[in-house]
A and B are shown apart, each in its own frame.
Chain A
């Protein structure tokens, strides 16, 4: 026996090492199947390795950021002016869009309060930097530079502004491991935005994401947006996951739906970890400091110099507009129209703001009047476009059925907002060139 081992010493050692590792694997598999905690030995190995590797990765990240910042901020400034101008225009557009969306959200919140919905809200996030990955094609995980000492805990959701990324799997002292949504071990409750069909998003060994458990008789079209359903108790409901890329009938009862993740999982740099989620009924309070779309438009439109009150005709220019399409309206008049049109779509619009009032021009004096009159009836389909001085037309704000419903369920009797002239918005019906159903803020 002694001769055998001394003769085949290296082969014996190989068998011993392999046997030990297979045994270790079997123990880990057994622990996972029984739902047991990570065994102490493997946890210790992971902690040692990550604590040795993570600081080096952090140094590399910091160094690369330093070099990149020097290059971008001091050396490579070509096209910055042009880009700046484009970005300013984009900001303007987004501000208008944001106001419109925030009004829609406020409206949705009010309706949810009425219906007694309970929902999860992201109340706190923490920005973190991706410092590394597993380096393996079989394990789709990344490491963040924030860990237990920063308040990160297992099962926290990780997102980017584009979409969800994954969940925190293991937490170390100064770093954490995130399982990406394209890993085969990952599972996310998902819902198709248009059809409201629910399924489970799973990764594949090739790093793709597939939506499972949607019945094969359902119709799913490429391009359909996929959102989180909130069913996994990790990701809050309604976060973007991606879009349907391809649909094939599966071998079983379900469709094979390939989803293209909204977040670029192969080039993650900064992510947000959702550290606090509040569950409850949404409140009805308006966010402070919000501006109406009309107010922002008013800031952008040329204002008419204020006239002396004595010279102002009764009722102002705006009073003539709906009934007299032949009168060419001023920009201020258009503004008043748009504000009025928006007010019908926004049940809880604030009192007129200085920006809008100044754009109101000749009607400024009326802006001080209290908004006591009830909301006028919603313009019927066929609401006209309003002619602008430059020959273009602005379209009236869309009035959604939900808004009408809310107004009809008791809100209609409440005093509503006025237009920038301090008068209640007028039902716009008279002029021709009808094109209803579009939002003025666009």
Chain B
């Protein structure tokens, strides 16, 4: 019985991190600028969703549902403002992801690269599903759900998350 592996990290072991106000504003802003700047030159970069990765990172690191959903909502609404579509599509999708990621961050340890890959890929799929659902049902948009493309994008974002989270880990401060 004593050799039984720990399958879930207990709440007491999980540390809650905080970020300075400069990092909290600058990192999402930078992610939005890069997301808007690079795909105009390298079209394949549109596969990545840096604002989503930043939303997930802040949500799982802060481990506060309220902070997670607000971060997601704000980043999503700003991302919406850069498109020509109605404002709220990315806002709703990222609000859901922010809330879900922070809820998950409370329950499991997401410091492991493998876990980060799986969590990010999973939330990418959730994000796309919510986005498509809202666009189809509220805006009446004709959006196709391409499984192969979406799964590939989820995997790529998961890999990108491993690198990005490792960089952003340097800015977090323990409570």
A314 vs B87: C-alpha distance in the bound complex, in angstroms? 84
Determine the residue in chain A with the shortest Cβ distance to B99. A14
Contact at A10–B99, with CB atoms within 8 Å?
yes
A141 vs B83: C-alpha distance in the bound complex, in angstroms? 7
Contact at B82–A50, with CB atoms within 8 Å?
yes
Q: How far is the CB of A170 from chain B (nearest CB, A)?
A: 7
Contact at A49–B142, with CB atoms within 8 Å?
no
Q: How far is the CB of A58 from chain B (nearest CB, A)?
A: 10
Q: Which of A127-135, A378-386, A405-413 contacts B (4 or more CB under 8 A)?
A: A127-135
Contacts of B82 in A (CB 8 A): 49-50, 53, 132, 134-136, 139
Q: Mark B48-64, 1 if CB is under 8 A from A, else 0.
A: 00010000000000000
Q: Which of A19-27, A240-248, A425-433 contacts B (4 or more CB under 8 A)?
A: A19-27
Interface residues of B in 125-145 (CB under 8 A from A): 131, 134-135, 138-144
Q: How large is the interface on A (under 10, 10 to 19, 20 to 34, 35 or more residues)?
A: 35 or more
A268 vs B91: C-alpha distance in the bound complex, in angstroms? 28
Contact at B95–A21, with CB atoms within 8 Å?
yes
Contacts of B95 in A (CB 8 A): 14, 17-18, 21
A139 vs B87: C-alpha distance in the bound complex, in angstroms? 12
A45 contacts the other chain (CB 8 A): yes
Interface residues in chain B, defined as those with a beta carbon under 8 Å from any beta carbon in chain A: 29, 32-33, 35-37, 39-41, 43, 46-47, 51, 65-66, 69-70, 73, 77-79, 81-92, 95-96, 99, 131, 134-135, 138-144, 146
- When the two chains form the complex, which single residue of A13, A130, A138 contacts B85, counting CB atoms closer than 8 Å? A138
Contacts of A183 in B (CB 8 A): 84
Contact at B40–A133, with CB atoms within 8 Å?
yes
Contact at A132–B84, with CB atoms within 8 Å?
no
A205 vs B145: C-alpha distance in the bound complex, in angstroms? 10
What 8 pairs across the A-B complex have the smallest Cβ distances? Answer: A139-B83, A135-B35, A266-B43, A49-B81, A10-B65, A133-B40, A25-B88, A132-B36
Q: How far is the CB of A161 from chain B (nearest CB, A)?
A: 19
Contact at B79–A136, with CB atoms within 8 Å?
yes
Contact at B66–A29, with CB atoms within 8 Å?
no
Q: List 20 A-B contacts (CB under 8 A).
A: A22-B88, A24-B87, A25-B92, A25-B138, A28-B87, A32-B86, A48-B81, A53-B36, A61-B37, A132-B33, A133-B40, A137-B47, A138-B85, A138-B141, A138-B143, A139-B85, A185-B84, A205-B142, A267-B41, A268-B40
Contact at A22–B142, with CB atoms within 8 Å?
no
Contact at B96–A18, with CB atoms within 8 Å?
yes
A177 contacts the other chain (CB 8 A): yes
A130 vs B46: C-alpha distance in the bound complex, in angstroms? 16
Contact at B41–A49, with CB atoms within 8 Å?
no
Contacts of A177 in B (CB 8 A): 84
Determine the residue in chain A with the shortest Cβ distance to B132. A138
Interface residues of A in 55-78 (CB under 8 A from B): 56-57, 60-61
Contact at A21–B91, with CB atoms within 8 Å?
yes
Contact at B39–A133, with CB atoms within 8 Å?
yes
A177 vs B46: C-alpha distance in the bound complex, in angstroms? 18
Apart from A17-B73, A22-B138, A137-B46, what 14 extra A-B contacts exist at CB < 8 Å? Answer: A21-B77, A22-B88, A25-B89, A28-B86, A28-B88, A29-B86, A45-B87, A49-B78, A50-B81, A60-B33, A131-B40, A134-B83, A141-B84, A183-B84
A227 contacts the other chain (CB 8 A): no
Contacts of A184 in B (CB 8 A): 141-142
- When the two chains form the complex, which single residue of A17, A25, A48, A134 contacts B139, counting CB atoms closer than 8 Å? A25
Q: Chain A CB within 10 Å — which of B29, B87, B91 has the most?
A: B87
Contact at B33–A53, with CB atoms within 8 Å?
yes
Q: How far is the CB of A191 from chain B (nearest CB, A)?
A: 25
A26 vs B138: C-alpha distance in the bound complex, in angstroms? 7
Interface residues in chain A, defined as those with a beta carbon under 8 Å from any beta carbon in chain B: 9-10, 13-14, 17-18, 21-22, 24-26, 28-29, 32, 42, 45-46, 48-50, 52-53, 56-57, 60-61, 130-139, 141-143, 169-170, 177, 179, 183-185, 205-206, 266-269
A248 vs B65: C-alpha distance in the bound complex, in angstroms? 50
Q: How far is the CB of B37 from chain A (nearest CB, A)?
A: 5
A43 vs B90: C-alpha distance in the bound complex, in angstroms? 17
- When the two chains form the complex, which single residue of B39, B83, B139 contacts A29, counting CB atoms closer than 8 Å? B139
Contacts of B99 in A (CB 8 A): 10, 14
Q: How far is the CB of A114 from chain B (nearest CB, A)?
A: 44
Contact at A21–B92, with CB atoms within 8 Å?
yes
Q: Chain B CB within 10 Å — which of A9, A134, A136, A139 has the most?
A: A136
A28 vs B77: C-alpha distance in the bound complex, in angstroms? 14
Contact at B33–A142, with CB atoms within 8 Å?
no
- When the two chains form the complex, which single residue of B35, B41, B69, B86 contacts A25, counting CB atoms closer than 8 Å? B86
Q: Chain B CB within 10 Å — which of A17, A135, A179, A185 has the most?
A: A135
Contact at B39–A42, with CB atoms within 8 Å?
no
Q: How far is the CB of A401 from chain B (nearest CB, A)?
A: 46
A25 vs B91: C-alpha distance in the bound complex, in angstroms? 10
Contact at A17–B69, with CB atoms within 8 Å?
yes
Contact at B144–A205, with CB atoms within 8 Å?
yes
- When the two chains form the complex, which single residue of A21, A24, A136 contacts B46, counting CB atoms closer than 8 Å? A136
Contact at A42–B87, with CB atoms within 8 Å?
yes
Determine the residue in chain B with the shortest Cβ distance to A180. B84
Contact at B40–A142, with CB atoms within 8 Å?
yes
Q: Chain B CB within 10 Å — which of A24, A26, A61 has the most?
A: A24
Contacts of A24 in B (CB 8 A): 87-88
A316 vs B69: C-alpha distance in the bound complex, in angstroms? 92
Contacts of A169 in B (CB 8 A): 84
A268 vs B40: C-alpha distance in the bound complex, in angstroms? 7
Contacts of B40 in A (CB 8 A): 130-133, 142, 268
Determine the residue in chain B with the shortest Cβ distance to A139. B83
Contacts of B70 in A (CB 8 A): 17
